[in-house]
Chains A and B, each alone.
Chain A
Amino acid sequence: MIGCSAGGLGALKPLLRALTPPLPLPVIVCSHSAEPGTGLLVPLLARHARLPVREARERWPVEAGIIHLAPPGYHLLIERDRCFAYSVDEPVHYSRPSIDVLFESAADAYGAGLAGVMLTGASPDGAQGLARIRQAGGLAIVQDPADALAPTMPQAALDQAGADHCLPLARIAPLLNELAHCA
């Protein structure tokens, strides 16, 4: 479960490239970079990732080994039966999709079996969701604000939620690979 905003594309490309297949867990990405109406993020990231990249489809199950992207213009949620749900509720911190909405619902669905990753961004979105993930027993990984293009988002996450790991970008993917393979 990865959230990012400003500068997120630059961070996602190397991060997703470093995730090694076969990955026995699903990856879900909520980026504010997607403009409503454009479907450009999927092909863009697909060129950099070694795992298949797809838009998370309404009502369809979350799949291991796949990178699912939140759709532009909708909130993405995870139901307890581990299927995707959409909503058009009001934007959160001016964002739809919102990282808070995704993380909070994912914390309910996965409990302790979840890792939330907060990358670069210029919005406080995601901090509350990351706190919920930790509260539910999940793991919080935050990009070191000093290493982030836009430090607001990881800093807000550290302030509100704290972190189990605060790392430079380059060390996040290796950690995720390790977590996935020993999970």
Chain B
Amino acid sequence: MDRIDPALEDIELELFVRALRQRHGYDFGHYAPASLRRRVRQLVQTHGTGTISALTGRLLHEPEFVFTVIEGLSVPVSDMFRDPPVFRALREQVLPLLASWPRINIWQAGCASGQEVYSLAILLEEEGLYERCQIYATDFNPAALRRAQEGIYPARAAQAWSRNYLEAGGRHSLADYYSARYEFIKLDQRLRRNVSFANHNLVTDKVFCEAQLVLCRNVLIYFANPLQDRVLGLFRDSLVRGGFLCLGLRESLEFAPSGADFTALDANLRIYRRNVFTAPDGKA
């Protein structure tokens, strides 16, 4: 294994992050360092550059290389209906309350390859709400957004996903929603009819839409505390009063002041509602 000089590696990592920000507009400066360091090391290994500095060189001089880097640094694939109790709670507790709004906007922030987008669409379809919904599925990685739009996944995952779907209270069989061919499954593209996929960077972009529900599971775990807090503020400002926020099953809100703007609907499942009385910028 390559020897690592920690002090030297810190300098290289800082320069890499700076190059990414100044040259390409992607700001990883407030990501949780341990995971970021690990992913950058992986990029060094995958591309055989030997050092982070050499990786930075390619980033600066090869225009297309940034997309490879973004792919390597972005939140990876997920599963359909991951953590079935969460989707069951969305189905049984959240959707009936959402039904009181005539139009329902849902923001899936950091949708990665789209597994949760399709899970959500299926849920809404089965509960008879889909026609009133608009789902905004955003990610900062263009390659992931393309995969999400295609909805093609390895068939080997289908069995576990079917199990998840049923545990989450599915009314049919997951196989009703995809066609299988060779080693792949393709999700029914009708599930996409009310989905808009868009490029949005939680770190640098502003409020995306007025939403009744924001889903952002296991994305904030990659952000250091100040950035986590800022993005929670972004969700608060996007949500209507009483709107819902669904985070990953083990995410901690205790170190984010913005967490105080939400009240738990189910603390164990990390489902929250935006408080009716909050004063984001002293306004409301």
Give A residues with C-beta under 8 Å from B. 37, 57-60, 71, 74, 77-80, 85-90, 101, 104-105, 108-109, 111, 128, 131-132, 135-136
Name the A residues within 8 Å of B34 (CB-CB): 77-80, 85, 105, 108-109
Is B38 on the interface with A (CB-CB < 8 A)?
Answer: yes
Choose from A57, A79, A128 the contact partner of B33 (Cβ within 8 Å): A79
Choose from B76, B83, B252 the contact partner of A89 (Cβ within 8 Å): B76
Which residue of chain B lies nearest to A79 when distances are taken between CB atoms in the complex?
B34
Interface residues of B in 209-236 (CB under 8 A from A): 218, 221-222, 225
Is B4 on the interface with A (CB-CB < 8 A)?
Answer: yes
Is B67 on the interface with A (CB-CB < 8 A)?
Answer: no
Which residue of chain B lies nearest to A106 when distances are taken between CB atoms in the complex?
B34
Interface residues of B in 248-266 (CB under 8 A from A): 248, 250-252, 254-255
A163 to B248, CA, bound (A): 38
Question: In the complex, how many angstroms separate the beta carbon of B93 from the nearest chain A beta carbon?
Answer: 19
Count of residues in B whose CB is under 8 Å from the partner chain: 26
Question: In the complex, how many angstroms separate the beta carbon of A32 from the nearest chain B beta carbon?
Answer: 18
Which residue of chain A lies nearest to B3 when distances are taken between CB atoms in the complex?
A135
The answer to whether A108 and B75 touch (CB under 8 A), given A59-B225, A77-B34, A87-B221, is: no
Name the A residues within 8 Å of B77 (CB-CB): 90
Pair A77/B250 contact, Cβ less than 8 Å:
no
12 contacts between A and B (CB under 8 A): A57-B250, A58-B250, A58-B251, A59-B255, A71-B250, A74-B250, A80-B33, A85-B32, A86-B218, A87-B38, A87-B221, A88-B221
The answer to whether A135 and B1 touch (CB under 8 A), given A37-B83, A89-B35, is: yes
Is B196 on the interface with A (CB-CB < 8 A)?
Answer: no
The answer to whether A77 and B38 touch (CB under 8 A), given A37-B83, A58-B250, is: yes
Pair B4/A135 contact, Cβ less than 8 Å:
yes
Interface residues of B in 109-148 (CB under 8 A from A): none
Which residue of chain A lies nearest to B225 when distances are taken between CB atoms in the complex?
A59
Name the A residues within 8 Å of B254 (CB-CB): 59-60
Question: In the complex, how many angstroms separate the beta carbon of A163 from the nearest chain B beta carbon?
Answer: 16
Q: Name the residue in B75, B252, B254 with the highest tally of chain A Cβ atoms < 10 Å from its Cβ.
A: B252
Q: Known A-B contacts: A60-B254, A131-B1. Give 5 more (CB < 8 A).
A: A71-B250, A77-B35, A77-B38, A85-B32, A89-B76
Question: In the complex, how many angstroms separate the beta carbon of A68 from the nearest chain B beta carbon?
Answer: 13
Question: In the complex, how many angstroms separate the beta carbon of B277 from the nearest chain A beta carbon?
Answer: 27
Question: In the complex, how many angstroms separate the beta carbon of B72 from the nearest chain A beta carbon?
Answer: 11
The answer to whether A89 and B1 touch (CB under 8 A), given A59-B225, A136-B6, is: no
The answer to whether A88 and B75 touch (CB under 8 A), given A37-B83, A136-B6, is: yes
Nearest 8 interchain pairs by C-beta: A77-B34, A105-B34, A59-B252, A58-B252, A87-B35, A86-B221, A88-B218, A85-B32
A154 to B35, CA, bound (A): 26
A108 to B3, CA, bound (A): 13
Name the B residues within 8 Å of A136 (CB-CB): 4, 6
A131 to B1, CA, bound (A): 8
The answer to whether A105 and B38 touch (CB under 8 A), given A59-B252, A87-B222, A128-B1, is: yes
